[in-house]
Structures are given as structure tokens and as C-alpha cells.
Amino acid sequence: MHNPRADSGGLTGIVVRGVGLAATGFLLTNLLTLAFYVALARLATPRDFGVLAAGSVLVYFSATFVESGLAAALIRRRDGVDEAANTVLVATVAAGAGFALIALAAAPLVGHFFGSTEITHVAAAMSGILFVRSVGIVPSTLLQKRFSFVRRVVVTPAGVLGFGIAAVVTCANGWGVWGLVLGSYVSTVVEVILAWAFVRWRPRLRLASVSMWRDLAAFGRHVVAADVVMGIGDKADSVVIGRLLSTAALGQYRYAWRVAALPLAAIVNVGAYVLYPAFAAIASDDERFRGAFMRALRWLSIVALPASLILLPLGEPLVVLVFGEQWRPAGRAVAAMCAFAAGHTYDSLASEAWKAAGRPDLLVRMHVLSAASLVALMLAFVPVGLTGMGVALSLSSIAVAAYALRGAGRVVGIPVRRLLEEIWPPAAGAILMAGILYAVEHGVVHADTHGVVLGLALLVAEAAGGAVLFLAFLAALRPDRAVELRELIGVAVGRRQAGPEPLPRG
């Protein structure tokens, strides 16, 4: 399956313009998400969201086994792509059906663990999502492999729209958590239908083979092992908080996590979505691979560090103004999570590089560290309550980032000293910016004591001022970045082609 666009320009041009398109889709998706969650914050209770999170623990963990790392193996595949795609389709749909039945059977265990019959019913109802999602894995993966950004610009926003309309209408009519369950199904069905509509690929199941599955699984087994461990870590917070604090606290935490994860979601949905297929295309050329990795590290640091750390001064007032005073505990947790997105940006970058380099085995070690450190830190911070859970998340993220960067440097062939040279200027600028904004917001402005419109306007002004401060600090520390930024903007708007050679055919 050849990508014709790859012949017309260099890799940098494709990546930069792709990032622009993906960013557009991400912005649209999150504007829709924000609008619907503002409404749902007033139509559903923190407990409703907590029950949904608890009832979904096993379902979303099982999703890892359904995909089994085969999507990553398909993206990296250079020959026999049609045979591989049909093999992955058969394997994932069969796994989706099997694990949906397992999740349904295990629903009473989930409810017993959390001590709630309602959670049992929600867990049973959510089990079917495993099968529905499995049907869309191959078309979504092929869109990514082809550098097609319709998935980000159209498919994902449409899924959010489906969720929001269904959930808002039903919750407004008193459905509570069941409105959220219905919204989840509508979102998934919409995304699957659109992925198949846009991929323009029709399966030929006779091409599927056991030998191809074995070949793909040899690569995918490391990815799925890492995803299993990551899934444990991702759901450990729900288990600890739901069991040791309360269901209402879990609902507050999930709202806080959604806000704190926005910068990370931008990196993964906009950057990593493009980087993995791009890295995979040049992984055999050591010099190009190192150069691409360093450029990605540089610009991810410049974007992710200030976007993450700005939540320290502005997270609490933002949550209170947008969702209401009842969500203030979530706002304090958001501020405590300020390092979460920054830290996990680096493990996301390392993950894409390891997979492209054929070293998915390193993912397992990183995610073991992530899960173990998160559980240990959360247990240690339980006495501090919800805010302590946010602190634990931040500290775990920093530890994982250090490990990921060290491991990625070894695989790509870049000394840690060179990596730190790219990171410390934006890190210093982001820390200074966050400190100044904290003094301004909590010492002078107090945006959350004003009306919603005025308060949000003040936060926007503070954020804009923070961006100016960050860029000023960065320019003082690394003035050469301004020149490179202008060049990248030129590539993005199509004034010139970047990159010394076209992408390899695949």
C-alpha cells in the first residue's frame, strides 16, 4: 500500500503539515469535548462519573489484549501489507468477541470489588464496547500508516459529537450514569463506521494466514506486554481511589485527569500519531533517524513543558470556573498533576522510537516502572487525599521520563548530555513562567472569585502573558530556536519542501 504523497516531498514537510492537520482535528475534538463536559458537569454528578470509571476498569484494560500489538506491527510492515491487514482484521475481531464475553462474565467480580450492584450492571453493559471497537482497529491503523489525517480531522471529532449529543440528552432526562454509557456506545459506533468509510479498503479474508499472524505477533507480543502493564498502571489510580477514598473522589479525580491530560493528549494525538509511521520509514538510516528524533525532542519540549506546567497556577481556577464550585477538589488535583503531561511526553516519544527501531521489548520495562511507581506513590499519598493522588501522578511521570530518555538515547545513539541540552532551556523557561503566574493568580487576580465570563477572560489573559514570558525566556536562552521556528512555519504553509530525500516506498 504505497503512499503517493511521500514521493512529492521530504519527510519533514509531510510531518510538519501532518501535525498541522492533526492539530486542527485535536482542537476541534477538544472544543467539542469541553462544551459537552461543561454541560454534563451540571447534568451528572461526580458519583455518576465515578461509577462509569469503576465499571469500565476491566473493559478498557481488556482492550489491550484485543489489539495485541498487531496495529503497531501493521504500521511497521513494508511488504505483504494486504495480507497483514486481513490477518489483523480476523485476529482482532475474534479477540474482541472473546474478550467481550469474558468482561461480561467478570462484571459481578468488578461490582463486588467496589461494593456496588450498580457498578456490576455498568460493567456488564460496557463489555460490548470491546467487540465494537475491535471492528475499527484495522481501518484506523491503515489511515495512520498512510499519513491520512481524516481520522483526526473528521472521525474522532464526529465520535465526540455522537457521545456528547447522546449523553447530554439522556442525562438531561435523568438517566445519570446510563446516559454516559449510551454516549460511549454512540461514540464508538460512529468512529468505526467513519473509519471504514474513509479507508477505502475492503477486506479479503481469504488472504489471512496463521503464518502472517505469527510474524506480526513476534513484534506485537512486546507491544501488548507493555500495553498490559500500562493498562494496569492506568487503572491503578481508579482502583486505589475508588477503594481507599470514595466513588465521589474517583469521579473528581477522573475530571481532574481529563484536564491535566489535555496537553499530553495533544502530543499523542498530534505528534505521536505522525511520528511512529515517520520514524518507521527512516529507521534503517541511522543519521536521518537521529536527526528526526532530536528535532522531535526539541519541539515536543518547547510545546509540552509550558502547556503542562501552566496548570500549576491556573488549573484550580480553570476547573472551578468551567465546571462549577462542586469540582474545586478536582481543580486542586489538576494543579498537583502539573508535571503529568510533561513527563509522559518523553515516554511517548521514546515509545515511538523504540517501536520504529524494532526494540518494542524496552516498552515493557518502562511501563513496569510506571505502574509500580504510580501504585507505590499513590499508596504513600493516600493520607493527603485527592490532591496527594495528583502529586503521586506527577512524581511517577517524572521518574518514567528520566528512564525513557536514557533508554531512547541508547537505542538511537545519542548521549544523554545531548538530550539534556535540548530539554533544559524550555524546562527552565516553563518553570519560571509557572512561578510568576502562580504569584500573579493566587496573590493578585483570583480569577475564580469573579463571574464565569470575566474569570475566564482573566485566565486567557494570564495564559497569553505566560506564553509571552516563556518565549522570552526561551529566546534569551536559545535564540537560534526563532530561526528554526520560522523555517518550520514556512514548511507548514507550503512555501518550501523540507527534507533531503523522499520517504521510502512502502
What is the span of the domain harbouring residue 63?
A: 8-208
Instruction: For residue 325, report the phi and psi dihedrals to the nearest 5 degrees.
Output: -60, -30
Single residue among 185, 208, 231 that ends a domain in this structure:
208
Question: Which pLDDT score is estimated for 62?
Answer: 79
267 and 404 belong to one structural domain: yes
305 and 181 belong to one structural domain: no
197 and 252 belong to one structural domain: no
- Domain assignment present for residue 159? The answer is yes
Question: Which pLDDT score is estimated for 61?
Answer: 73
- Domain assignment present for residue 485? The answer is yes
Contacts of 161 (CB under 8 A, 6+ apart): 32, 190
User: For residue 502, what are the β-bridge partners?
Assistant: 10
Contacts of 72 (CB under 8 A, 6+ apart): 219, 220, 223, 276, 355, 360
56 and 194 belong to one structural domain: yes
93 and 187 belong to one structural domain: yes
142 and 58 belong to one structural domain: yes
Q: Per the structure, how many domains does the chain have?
A: 2
- Domain assignment present for residue 239? The answer is no
Cell numbers given for 246: 470514595
Residue 136 exposure: Cα atoms within 13 Å on the Cβ side: 22
Question: 356-372 burial, b if ≥16 CB within 10 A, otherwise e?
Answer: bbeebebbbebbbbbbb
Residue type, 170: T
189 and 264 belong to one structural domain: no
Residue type, 163: F
463 and 374 belong to one structural domain: yes
175 and 305 belong to one structural domain: no
- Domain assignment present for residue 237? The answer is no
345 and 435 belong to one structural domain: yes
414 and 303 belong to one structural domain: yes
- Domain assignment present for residue 236? The answer is no
Question: Which pLDDT score is estimated for 72?
Answer: 80
277 and 201 belong to one structural domain: no
- Domain assignment present for residue 216? The answer is no
Question: Which pLDDT score is estimated for 496?
Answer: 42
- The count of other CB atoms within 10 Å of the CB of residue 449 is 12
**Regions of the chain where pLDDT drops below 70:** 1-23, 25, 149, 222, 227, 231-234, 266-273, 482-506
Cα(468)–Cα(486) distance, integer angstroms: 17
Q: How many helices (H) does the chain have, and how many strands (E)?
A: 24, 0
Structure letter (DSSP) for residue 445: I
User: For residue 10, what are the β-bridge partners?
Assistant: 502
- Domain assignment present for residue 505? The answer is no
Cα(40)–Cα(164) distance, integer angstroms: 9
Question: Which pLDDT score is estimated for 53?
Answer: 85
Q: Between the CA of residue 9 and those of 4, 14, 16, 287, 294, what are the distances in Å?
A: 10, 7, 11, 19, 20
- Domain assignment present for residue 225? The answer is no
Cα(489)–Cα(39) distance, integer angstroms: 36
Single residue among 155, 182, 208 that ends a domain in this structure:
208
Single residue among 161, 188, 208 that ends a domain in this structure:
208
Cell numbers given for 44: 451528572
Q: Between the CA of residue 140 and those of 49, 148, 226, 285, 353, what are the distances in Å?
A: 28, 10, 21, 27, 21
